[in-house]
Structure 1
Amino acid sequence: MSDSWKVTLPCTRAEAEAIDPEGAAFADMTAPPVLMTRELTEDDVEDWVLDAYFQDEPGMREIAMLRALVPSAGDTAVVPERIAEQDWVTLSQSGLEPVATERFYVHTSANKGEVPAGLRAFHIEAGLAFGTGHHETTTGCLMTLEAMRAAGQVVRNHIDVGTGTGLLAFAAMHLWPNARATASDIDPISIDVTRVNAEVNGVKLGTGPGRLELAVAPGLAHRTIERRAPYDLVCANILAGPLIELAPAIAAATLPGGTAILAGLLDRQADGVLAAYRRAGFRLAGRIQLGDWPSLRLVRRPIR
């Protein structure tokens, strides 16, 4: 087995929150690094750290790309740390504590802990795809789904756009087990990850009720997604820019009276996203705020 490499740089909370969780800065790399941020001193917005895990020893170009993400690091010396292959998963996930919501418990293999009674556990490894449940955006979406189910909302046909790891699709399938389910992502790797996670978590793939159909697609532009529309629930935990771009397409794919859950945006970006969806025929029906990350629940107005 070959060794892997770790690079650590200091950063601020603002820089940490501005980092693209899907690693777009390294999109042209065959093996992009796993990027993780953590707070060193509680409530100190200046004392954060960026850890980057590489499969191969990073060169000057990769280190320069990291520095561009955290300008406050300045000329801090960077010495890539070699880590043994068998320690890769444990090290990259060491800061990921299990996440427990009202109905769900999300964990990695490194930190399973004790699953609380009555919760549906999902084993989701951190790695090449975004959406492990350990970020406020994904957790907020899980809580929004739970609130919908608690309010008695019925979902018969749902889609998770930009699914990442498949977690939100799996959660919706647990809450509405007889619904048709679809998960899509522009990144083929994410769909491969979702397929593996489905097997690990006992989620059935297929086309019928209670099974998950997968599609590699930019947004909603795919014949499978179009064929299965309209949806009474659309989840999109991506980024603010793509959310705004997709507003007309998501509106067209959502039943009147149906719900769209939007996340992946910072609090300061919410007004712009909401404006785009109001123009597309949605109204704001709920909002969950975790730190600086809102999860928006929108309802499509009836067509007149």
Structure 2
Amino acid sequence: MALSQLSLALTKDQAYALVDAVMERDDLAVTASAHEDAETGEWIFEATCLERPELDSFSELARLTLGGDVEFRIEEIDPSVNWVAKSLEGLHPVRAGGFYVYGSHETAPVPGGLTGIRIDAAQAFGTGHHETTTGCLEAIDRALKRRRFTNVIDIGTGTGVLAIAVAKRLKRRVLATDIDPVAVSTTLGNARDNGVERQIVAIEAEGLDHHLIASGAPYDLVIANILAGPLAALAPGMARITQRGATIILSGILNQQAPRVTSAYVGQSMILRSKITRGNWSTLVLEKR
């Protein structure tokens, strides 16, 4: 399969804004990232695309996001290299909500008082570095301090980082679902690496459409870090699979999208208990009446 990489030198804020804009769409790139060039100090936006990228679409999105015209550089890349992993492998550990997310290349011990989660870069979303993931980890930490949950589901699990975080703290079974079979296999591998393979049940499912999701209901903790549109559409289903008093943690939501998602859940007899804002992204914590 032919892959292409599209790149552009920007300021740090511009690079991350463009990453967010690209990742909001599912038709432009396999992945997008931003990093600082060690030699020049410039911040580089990069997007990895199947075949040739749709340059007109990228240029229009950049114009809307950055307020001006830009000139991308495009190059063919070696299809034998896992560029999703390559773009992430140098990231530093992340501390969020009492959790410490790190890669296997880290040799330092997990700091005292933190719950370590080892997640290597892979072809699935969730190494702990994105604001949506850190927001969810903080929300999970707060929720677990208030209550001991007994039936947990993580929808759109990606690498399984959030499911693993809950399993490590609660020592209980967590159902992890994702539409992508690569994410399911990645989650199972990460569960083994973190010693919670007996607590994590990972399945391929679209939304809430799987018999194991239905048979496992009602849930008292639901985590879903996906996108605003699907989250709003899932609101009625979320109401069906949750018990009274359940906590629902939602992310993958741009700040300007938070009112629309909140409204969808309030309409299903849920109350917004708190909102965590990280950069351009919001994490919502709701409770079922």
**Partner of 1:133: helix, strand, or coil?**
coil
> Structure 1 residues 266 and 89, CA, compared in 2 at 3 Å: closer, same or farther?
closer
The TM-score with structure 2 as length reference comes to: 0.84
Of residues 5, 16, 20, the one that matches 1:17 is 20
Q: Distance in 2 between matches of 1:167 and 1:245?
A: 24
**CA deviation after TM superposition for structure 1 residue 87, in Å:** 9.6
Q: Is the 8 A contact 1:25 1:65 kept in 2?
A: no
Asked whether the 8 Å contact 1:125–1:132 carries over to 2, the reply is yes
1:68/1:37 CA distance change after superposition, 3 Å? farther
Corresponding residue number in structure 2 for 1:287: 275
Correspondence for 1:188: 181
The alignment-based identity, stated in percent, is 38
Task: Measure, in 1, the Cα distance between the counterparts of 2:104 and 2:7.
Answer: 23
**CA displacement at 1:110 relative to structure 2:** 4.2
Q: Deviations over 1:238-290 (max 9, x none)?
A: 10000000000011111101110011101111100010000011001122211
TM-score using structure 1 length: 0.80
* 1:9 partner letter: L
- Stretches of structure 2 that go unaligned for 5 or more consecutive residues are none
Q: 217-226 or 74-83, which moves further after superposition?
A: 74-83
Counterpart for residue 215 of structure 1: 203
Q: Distance in 2 between matches of 1:173 and 1:266?
A: 27
Give the distance between the partners of 1:89 and 1:269, measured in 2 at CA.
27
Distance of 2:224 and 2:32 partners within structure 1: 21
Which shows bigger deviation, 105-114 or 260-269?
105-114
Q: CA deviation at 1:95?
A: 5.3
- Kindly indicate whether residue 162 of structure 2 is the aligned counterpart of residue 168 of structure 1: yes
Are residues 1:92 and 2:87 paired? yes
Q: Look up the SS of the partner of 1:184 in the other structure.
A: strand
1:37 to 34, 39, 42: 34
Deviations 1:169-204 (A, max 9, x none): 111112211x33101011111111111111122112
The amino acid that maps onto 1:109 is S
Which of 241, 244, 255 lines up with 1:256 in the alignment?
244
Q: Mean Cα displacement is larger for which, 121-130 or 187-196?
A: 121-130
Q: Deviations over 1:127-150 (max 9, x none)?
A: 321122111111111111111222
Which residue of the partner structure matches residue 190 of structure 2? 197
Structure 2 CA distance for aligned equivalents of residues 122 and 77 of structure 1: 36
- SS in structure 2 of the partner of residue 19 of structure 1: helix
Which residue does the alignment assign to 2:223?
Answer: 235
Describe the superposition over 1:43-68 as per-residue Cα deviations: whole angstroms up to 9, x where unpaired: xxxx85321346x8x53x46556545
2:134 to 133, 139, 164: 139
Displacement after TM superposition at 1:235 (Å): 0.3
Residues 16 and 48, structure 1, Cα contact 8 Å, conserved in 2: no
Between the aligned partners of 1:266 and 1:281, the Cα distance in structure 2 is: 23
Distance (Å, rounded) in 1 between the aligned partners of 2:125 and 2:178: 11
> Alignment partner for residue 70 of structure 1, among 62, 70, 84?
62
Instruction: Provide the rounded CA distance (Å) in 1 between the counterparts of 2:72 and 2:137.
Output: 40
Which amino acid is 2:18 matched to?
E
CA distance in 2, matches of 1:225, 1:87: 32
* Structure 1 unmatched ranges of 5 or more: 27-31, 41-46, 206-210
Secondary structure in structure 2 of the residue aligned to 1:80: strand
**Does the C-alpha gap of structure 1 residues 75 and 220 become closer, same or farther in structure 2, counting only changes over 3 Å?**
same
2:47 to 52, 61, 73: 52
Match of 1:234, SS state, is: strand
- In structure 1, C-alpha distance between the alignment counterparts of 2:213 and 2:82, rounded to whole Å: 40
- Equivalent position SS for 1:265: strand
Aligned residues: 278
CA contact (8 A) 2:18 2:45 kept: no
